[in-house]
Amino acid sequence: ISREDAKPTGEDKTAILFSTAHKAGALADVLDVFKQYEINLTNIESRPSKKRQWEYYFFVDLSGHRTDKNIQDGMEEVRKHCLQLSILGSFPRATELL
């Protein structure tokens, strides 16, 4: 992750970080937006907040570049369901298996 995004290659990932309210269904609401905008999640991890008990941050990798229309529109909608949303950056995904 750098200060500037890599240019779109057509085979990209975008990393985001978000937090939601501590209430039933808050994460499901965000996941529904990804489904609605056909945004594929390739990785999702949760980490507890060091500042507030019961608050979690979610680190997510998405298929696509942040300049893709569905990613832009989806992030606008996701933001409505989050306490915090940061788009960390876009980068080419690995195309070869190691």
> What does the block give as tokens for 47?
């980490």
Quickly count: other Cβ atoms within 10 Å of residue 20's Cβ. Answer: 21
Rounded to whole angstroms, how far apart are CA atoms 98 and 95?
Answer: 10
Q: What pTM, to 2 d.p., does this model score?
A: 0.88
Model confidence at 71: pLDDT above 90 = yes
Q: Please identify which residue in the block is written with the tokens 């057509």.
A: 10
- The average pLDDT across 17-45 equals 97
Between 45 and 3, the more confident residue is 45
pLDDT of the residue at 32:
98
- The average pLDDT across 28-35 equals 98
pLDDT of the residue at 96:
67
- The average pLDDT across 67-84 equals 97
